[in-house]
Amino acid sequence: MKVDGLLIYRCQKSTKRKYPFLVTSDKISDLTTTSTIDIISLNAIYLRFEDRRKLPSGIGLEINVSDLRRADGKNLGRWIADISSLYNYCKHIGIQFILSSGATSICELISGRCFDSLLKTCDIEPMSYWNDLDSWLQSRLLKRRIILA
């Protein structure tokens, strides 16, 4: 199956069929042994201990940068520290950390250089991050038998 468009589809319910895109949810409770969810999108950075135990190895954990647009200096500093520790936690337990712009329009997109600067500020090596993300995406898409055009 070849795909030349959409790769990520945000849906309300988990599905058992094989679709040519990655499935994401914002509810950790949607994770079951039979769910096909690839990415959990967090609204808040903080994961309760019970929720951390539910995350299966190999899943993606998405954090949106869009919330920072309204943050003051104190909250921005806390967010950067939390991102660093969450990234290290994800690396430790085998979960893919995904930092997303959270853009809902073209005006909210973040350039590559700004994204790399943000990663460096959070003590994340940009080249390593992008290589890990690429490897993870390729492995997830291969599981769904998707070949990028």
Residue 88: CATH number of its domain: 3.20.20.140
Q: Taking the complete model, does pTM exceed 0.85, yes or no?
A: no
Question: Does residue 51 belong to any structural domain of this protein?
Answer: yes
Question: Does residue 106 belong to any structural domain of this protein?
Answer: yes
Question: Does residue 54 belong to any structural domain of this protein?
Answer: yes
Residue 119: domain span: 2-68+79-148
Question: Does residue 74 belong to any structural domain of this protein?
Answer: no
DSSP state string for 110-146: --HHHHHHHHHHTT--HHHHHHHHHHHHHHHHHHTT-
CA–CA dist 99, 66 (Å, integer): 10
Question: Does residue 22 belong to any structural domain of this protein?
Answer: yes
Phi then psi for 42, rounded to 5 degrees?
A: -95, 135
Question: Does residue 29 belong to any structural domain of this protein?
Answer: yes
Question: Does residue 62 belong to any structural domain of this protein?
Answer: yes
Domain count within the chain: 1
Question: Does residue 142 belong to any structural domain of this protein?
Answer: yes
CA–CA dist 43, 45 (Å, integer): 7
**Per-residue confidence at 2, pLDDT binned at 50, 70, 90?**
very low
What digits encode the pLDDT tens for the residues 37-57?
888 887 766 655 556 677 778
